[in-house]
Structure 1
Amino acid sequence: MNLPLRHLPGSTAVVLDSPHSGTVYPADFAYACDLAALRTAEDTHVEKLYDFAPALGVHWVEALFPRSYLDANRNVTEVDVSLLDGPWTGPVETDPKVLSKVRLGKGLIWRTTDDGIPIYTRQLSVTEVEARIARCWQPYHLAVSQAIEAAHALRGYNIHINCHSMPAVASSHATEFPGEAHADFVVGDREGTTASPALSQLVCAHLTAQGYSVSYNHPYKGVELVRRYGDPTRHRHSIQLEINRKLYMNERTLEMTPEAPALKAALRSLVELLLATDPRQL
């Protein structure tokens, strides 16, 4: 895998990144489950929903590797040591809230699919996990960091949207709320700690006005990419935006549906609003 990501620098204060839409499955993955089951982990087509963004001057970063191979929205401390054939050489997460996701099989390296299907019938070597971090996690976070720094330097603030999709109904091992029917959108800012609540509410209000149902910080508050790069006290605003897949795709066939263009138009109107918004004035 020569190119683990796509990074298109922009000319505005807005940054979008899509860490989970990658579909390039590396040869060294050596997974044992069915590929169709594995592909349910993808935020399939999210990059297509935002393909208008670079032409608007928005910074864009997109992972090409699959989330199940390495989850760029997890910290490198979120290692499921039960997967390894030897002791992990780095620090391991101790926060009980974070560990709950690792126990579900959704750490930095996934152990199971969202439906609890084991991905491997082998243990992974410490060396190969370290290689995935070096080849995928580190370049991805470097690209996001560089994009945010460039965006912030332009105006003295930045707005970062961490782009995701979610199933219409939560799977058994996806969240701590299995079986929950999701709203059309979930806006997450880790309870106002990664973005100004006024900015987050602006996003919620705009999507609601477009006719969508919107949930705020439930069941997704935002994970590592907004936690790491959001700091509203320094005018660095990071919001995780989850889109219900039923709005644009068939979750069984993974094909985009005729409703996708309307959703894409709504997302464009949201990005245009953010381009015209100075969070310091909210």
Structure 2
Amino acid sequence: MPFITHLPGSTPLVLDSPHSGTAYPADFRHACELSVLRSAEDTHVEKLYDFAPAMGAHWIEAHFPRSYLDANRNTTEMDVSLLDAPWPEPVETDPKILSKVRLGKGLIWRTTDEGVPLYDRKLGVAEVQARIEQCWKPYHAAVAQAIDAAHRLHGYSIHINCHSMPAIASGSATDFPGEEHADFVIGDREGTTASKLLSQRVREHLKARGHSVAYNHPYKGVELVRRYGNPAAHRHSIQLEINRKLYMDEDTLALTAGAEPLKATLRSLVEMLLKTDPRAL
């Protein structure tokens, strides 16, 4: 299986799902039970948006699991304590960005959301470099290519970075363990990756469908919106988190009856975004 799927579209809308991958590579060699690792996935997110390519949206999807390599982190977010030798590339020094690394959630995860160690060994530098070459670089190249294509054709782009979140924040997942999440969280890094008016329109649309919606808390958006969002250049990137209780059983990972109504809401959101030119807001 390829590491990613990239389906080019024809509209200004780009959707990507970096954390829904379920293909666990043979070289992962983790010490966790697979059932424990699977709780890290944004399970089924790709299914929730499976209608979008037929509507002309660009679609990028990771097949590798988030716990193997997190495409929503920069390559500098390296937890050097995992390695058996010095890391030869630049390492992040910003304390705010390093907070996730300290939680065990850097580019290569050290622990699960519940603090369970992933490995009983040190990782080789070449091993990690191979993950970057095979997973991170192709994924980011596809997202950048899709956004560039959308912007070139239409003069603007709207990028939705698609995620899911547990109903209750895990102990090692965020700085707010135990917090009960809203139905949706919209993140634009305080208006720096997308027009606040566009984010507000998304929020109002979801609230009108009967959902609770939080804005930039507890998720502001991470590397994929930070890297590709530039509202001054008409490149808008929003991270959209969906509460898993809306569509799945978090224990069994099975889809529930809520999945279809949620898909209808997401379809209506995509339809709205396809009719929205942020330059006119």
| TM-score > 0.5 by shorter chain | yes
Alpha-carbon distance between aligned partners in 2 of 1:97 and 1:245, rounded to the nearest angstrom: 27
Q: CA deviation at 1:63?
A: 0.2
Q: CA deviation at 1:95?
A: 0.6
Match of 2:160 in 1: 161
Alpha-carbon distance between aligned partners in 2 of 1:147 and 1:178, rounded to the nearest angstrom: 35
Q: CA deviation at 1:153?
A: 1.0
Alpha-carbon distance between aligned partners in 2 of 1:273 and 1:154, rounded to the nearest angstrom: 19
* Aligned residues with identical type, % of pairs: 75
Matches within 5 A, 1:4-153: 4-153=3-152
How far does the alpha carbon of each residue in 1:219-240 deviate from its partner, in whole angstroms, 9 at most, with x for none?
0000000000000000000000
Match of 2:221 in 1: 222
Residue type matched to 2:51 in 1?
F
Match of 1:171 in 2: 170
Match of 1:273 in 2: 272
Residue type matched to 2:108 in 1?
I
Question: What is the aligned residue count?
Answer: 281
Q: CA deviation at 1:154?
A: 1.3
Alpha-carbon distance between aligned partners in 2 of 1:154 and 1:12, rounded to the nearest angstrom: 8
Alpha-carbon distance between aligned partners in 2 of 1:100 and 1:280, rounded to the nearest angstrom: 35
SS at match of 1:254: coil
Match of 1:210 in 2: 209
How far does the alpha carbon of each residue in 1:33-79 deviate from its partner, in whole angstroms, 9 at most, with x for none?
11111001000000000000000000000000000000000000000
Alpha-carbon distance between aligned partners in 1 of 2:142 and 2:163, rounded to the nearest angstrom: 18
SS at match of 1:269: helix
Alpha-carbon distance between aligned partners in 2 of 1:217 and 1:31, rounded to the nearest angstrom: 33
Alpha-carbon distance between aligned partners in 1 of 2:153 and 2:55, rounded to the nearest angstrom: 15
Structure 2 gap segments, 5+ residues each: none
Residue type matched to 1:226 in 2?
V
SS at match of 1:108: coil
Alpha-carbon distance between aligned partners in 2 of 1:214 and 1:91, rounded to the nearest angstrom: 37
How far does the alpha carbon of each residue in 1:88-119 deviate from its partner, in whole angstroms, 9 at most, with x for none?
00000001011110010000000000000000
Alpha-carbon distance between aligned partners in 1 of 2:26 and 2:75, rounded to the nearest angstrom: 22
How far does the alpha carbon of each residue in 1:124-163 deviate from its partner, in whole angstroms, 9 at most, with x for none?
0000000000000000000000000011011100000000
Alpha-carbon distance between aligned partners in 2 of 1:144 and 1:265, rounded to the nearest angstrom: 25
Match of 1:253 in 2: 252
Residue type matched to 2:165 in 1?
M
Structure 1 gap segments, 5+ residues each: none
Q: Normalization by structure 2: what TM-score? A: 1.00
Q: CA deviation at 1:165?
A: 0.0
Alpha-carbon distance between aligned partners in 2 of 1:141 and 1:260, rounded to the nearest angstrom: 28
Alpha-carbon distance between aligned partners in 2 of 1:153 and 1:209, rounded to the nearest angstrom: 32
Residue type matched to 1:107 in 2?
G
Show structure 1 runs of 4+ deviating over 4 A. none
SS at match of 1:40: helix
